[in-house]
Amino acid sequence: MVASFNTNLVTLNGFINTQEHKHPEATGNLSGLLRSVGLAAKIVNRELTMAGLAEDILGETGNTNVQGETVKKMDVFANEHFIAAFRRGRRCCGIVSEEQDDMVVIDEQGAQYLVCIDPLDGSSNIDVNIPVGTIFSIYKRISKDCSVTKEDFLQPGTKQVAAGYVIYSSSTMIVYTTGDGVNGFTLDPAIGEFCLSNPDMKMPDDGKIISCNLSYQSEFPAFVQKYVHYSFEHDKATKRPYNLRYVGSMVADIHRTLLKGGVFLYPPTTDSPKGKLRLLYECNPISFIIEQAGGASTNGKKRILEIEPNDFHERTPIYCGSKNMVMRMMDMQ
């Protein structure tokens, strides 16, 4: 009896090819851009796994970014490697990055796609070995016969052609959507390939986890305080009290919410009256994934994806996750 071997290994590149073949009109340019994400993710992953031993990669640069936030050395490393990968991949005409004040214009003849990116999300957790991530969003340019323009980047999230995140944790994964469901790929470091591990990811409609930074609770809008209070009441029939889980890395909190269900919220606070999280390269890509997996994501008034952006680094409140839980929270307004 010949032993049978698992030969149906689906790599990220193989999956991208299969998806491309489903669209006869595809030019292969989006596929090329997604491959650049995979390459840069492997480079960042390599650096992160060795950060504690490598020379001079942990800690802060001593600078602050346009957000007024302390920039970690790994923020700069990730930012430079993702931008370099997009330049080398020759499919990208421009980038808005959390770590760049202004847009990066790439004069690449014929390139139709632009990227909004948070090169390293949750970077304040790096030095204590808590999971971090990369979040990316891809749009088709609307301007023609010129360099990429500010308006190209200020499209609503509904216009995204692809979005995803990398989570650098006990395993490193890429989770992304092109509008046809959500799929997760786990890096096999032995062969250097991201392999399909979570096909067609669906978020449970309900859950029993609430994820938010409760130190700001007294500053939350009244409906949010009401929902937090509701979450901690004892009622077996509705699985309350919910568990409180908050990593402080959006990608880690969202990944758990996607798999287990629950709600993730970052409401307005005194320090961040418009919310802390950025629309273009945190809330829009994450909301695209959440909606594609059957969840909901709102700023308290409308779908995050319908917000018309005015600025590269604008912030928004976000309430997202299992749709029944998000709706229950919104009903408390």
Could you list the residues that contact Mn ion (CB under 5 A)? 98, 118, 120-121
Q: Does 108 bind ligand AHG (CB under 6 A)?
A: no
Q: What is the CA radius of gyration of the chain?
A: 20
Q: Does 123 bind ligand AHG (CB under 6 A)?
A: yes
Q: Which does 14 bind (CB under 5 to 8 A by kind): ligand AHG, Mn ion, none?
A: none
Q: Which two tokens stand for residue 147?
A: 């360099």
Q: Which does 69 bind (CB under 5 to 8 A by kind): ligand AHG, Mn ion, none?
A: ligand AHG
Q: Does 257 bind ligand AHG (CB under 6 A)?
A: no
Q: Which of 42, 81, 255, 276 binds ligand AHG (CB under 6 A)?
A: 276
Pattern of binders to ligand AHG over 57-96, x per CB under 6 A? ------------x---------------------------
- Closest distance to ligand AHG from the beta carbon of 136 (Å): 12
The type of residue at 242 is Y
The H or E element that residue 223 is part of is helix 222-232
User: How many residues interact with ligand AHG (rule CB under 6 A)?
Assistant: 12
Q: Does 118 bind ligand AHG (CB under 6 A)?
A: yes
Considering the complex, state which of residue 67 and residue 158 has its C-beta at the smaller distance from ligand AHG.
67
Rounded distance, CA 304 to CA 320, Å?
9
Q: How far is CA 90 from CA 41, 68, 106, 112, in A?
A: 17, 31, 9, 10
Span 205-224, contacts to ligand AHG by CB under 6 A: 213
Q: Which of 250, 279, 290, 325 binds ligand AHG (CB under 6 A)?
A: 250
Q: 197-200: long-range contacts (C-beta < 8 A, 24 or more apart)? A: 197/173, 198/173
Q: Does 248 bind ligand AHG (CB under 6 A)?
A: yes
- Listed ranges 4-12, 115-123, 148-156, 164-172: which one lies at the site for ligand AHG (CB under 6 A): 115-123
Q: What single string gives the DSSP state of each residue in 230-278?
A: HHHS-BGGGTBSPEE---S-HHHHHHHHHHH--EEEE---SS-TT-SSB
Rounded distance, CA 271 to CA 22, Å?
47
Considering the complex, state which of residue 33 and residue 71 has its C-beta at the smaller distance from ligand AHG.
71
- Closest distance to ligand AHG from the beta carbon of 65 (Å): 8
Q: Which does 249 bind (CB under 5 to 8 A by kind): Mn ion, ligand AHG, none?
A: ligand AHG
Ramachandran sector of residue 68 (left: φ over 0; alpha: ψ -120 to 50; beta: rest): left
Rounded distance, CA 296 to CA 20, Å?
27
Ramachandran sector of residue 223 (left: φ over 0; alpha: ψ -120 to 50; beta: rest): alpha
Q: Does 121 bind ligand AHG (CB under 6 A)?
A: yes
Please give the residue ranges that form the binding site for ligand AHG (CB under 6 A). 69, 98, 118, 121-124, 213, 248-250, 276
